[in-house]
Amino acid sequence: MRDLLQAESHPLIAGGGVFLALMGAGIIAGGLFPLRRRWLLGASFIVASVTTSLVARSLAAPFGAPTRLQIAVLVVAVVVEVVVIQLMVPRLWPRGERTVTLGVLAVVGAHFLPMVVAFGPVVGVLGLVSIGNAAVGLWVAPQISLRMFWVIDGGLKLMCGLVMVSALAVAA
């Protein structure tokens, strides 16, 4: 497990795991209560952001300080994600909510790929599987409810987040 997490070279891993786990839980809740999906997504983003900002430094402490490159990759990946989503949504909107939602899930998955630099290989696996989940929803199984793909996406984030937080136990 230690080799998979690579926490010593990725000090942000546990804090990123907290963020992902909380977001995943919120996404799952949105799948269970689809009329509140957007509200739950927004609320989980706020809770995850505030919680992570409060605990990230102490969670990273056992592993040292992140490098400038790790911070830069994290920031650039998030900025590019936001820009791509803003450009993509108006283009996809005529194809319907399902296409827009799954497209956004694919972009979010793609933004995890460069984050391997900051968080380690678990987040890369999350990115690939998230893109795959969205692709199946878009092209392979359009007859399956969007809620299913939404809940799967949340479950992937929750599971990977918890694995990333487990870096604290592995380091102990």
Mean pLDDT by 10 residues, the chain (172 residues): 72 95 97 94 96 93 92 97 97 95 97 96 97 95 92 98 88 62
Picking from 9, 16, 2, the residue whose alpha carbon sits closest to that of residue 126 is 16
The pLDDT score that the predictor gives to residue 8 is: 82
The pLDDT score that the predictor gives to residue 167 is: 84
The pLDDT score that the predictor gives to residue 169 is: 80
Q: Specify the number of domains making up the chain.
A: 1
Count other C-beta atoms under 10 Å from residue 95's C-beta.
11
The pLDDT score that the predictor gives to residue 121 is: 94
* Tokens (6 digits) for 168: 């604290």
The pLDDT score that the predictor gives to residue 2 is: 58
- Helices and strands (H, E) in the chain, number of each type: 9, 0
* Tokens (6 digits) for 106: 């694919």
Q: For residues 127-165, b (16+ Cβ closer than 10 Å) or e, as one string?
A: bebbbebbbbbbeeeeeeebeebbbbbbbbbbbbbebbb
Per-residue model confidence as pLDDT tens digits over 99-146: 999 999 999 999 999 999 999 999 999 999 999 999 999 999 889 999
- Secondary structure of residue 36 in the 3-state scheme: helix
The pLDDT score that the predictor gives to residue 1 is: 57
The pLDDT score that the predictor gives to residue 72 is: 97
Residues 48 and 19 sit within 8 Å (Cβ to Cβ): yes
Range of the domain at 152: 2-171
The pLDDT score that the predictor gives to residue 62 is: 87
